[in-house]
Amino acid sequence: MKILIASDHAGLELKTHIKNLLAQKQISVEDLGPQNTDSVDYPDFAQRLCEKMPKVSSSQQPEILGILVCGSGQGMAMKANKYSYIRAALCWDLISTQLAREHNNANILCLGGRLLPNGLALEMVERFLTTQFLGGRHEKRVLKISQ
């Protein structure tokens, strides 16, 4: 599994914690920026990540997942979901994260760096990476998202 990760200036600190967690788990991570807290525009970094995501069927288990972090997570999710092959989920707790993978086959996790405690956010990342899409009755619904 490979993870693409990006943030804006408000999400940089949480992004760094996430990268450290993934390094401990020996998961391949590609950091698409930024590298400092200078003010940047979050849509630019969401676009950078989305354009590197594989365009796979919405029913397939993705081999590459994305993580986007900004102040609220909302702006990143809005930009990412402009792409038909992206299912970016703005999550706020463990159950929203789990359901985003199980029911929606989300391929990008969006997090609010200003809203989530680091510990919870790291648990959410782990849940996102270890939860599988259930398929079945959810598959036809997920297909409708991309249409």
Q: Dump pLDDT digits (tens) for 54-73.
A: 987 666 777 899 999 999 99
**138 is known as an active-site residue:** no
pLDDT class for 26, splitting at 50, 70, 90? very high
DSSP, collapsed to helix, strand or coil, labels residue 143 as helix
Contact 99, 138 (CB under 8 A): no
Helices assigned H by DSSP within the chain: 12-24, 42-50, 74-80, 94-102, 118-130, 137-146
pLDDT, residue 57, reads 66
The domain spans of the chain are 2-146
pTM of the model: 0.96
2-146 to CATH, choices 3.30.450.20, 3.40.1400.10, 3.20.20.105, 3.40.190.10: 3.40.1400.10
24 vs 147, more confident: 24
Which of 9, 17, 103, 138 is an active site residue?
103
**All residues at 6 or more sequence positions from 147 whose CB lies less than 8 Å from its CB, including other chains:** none
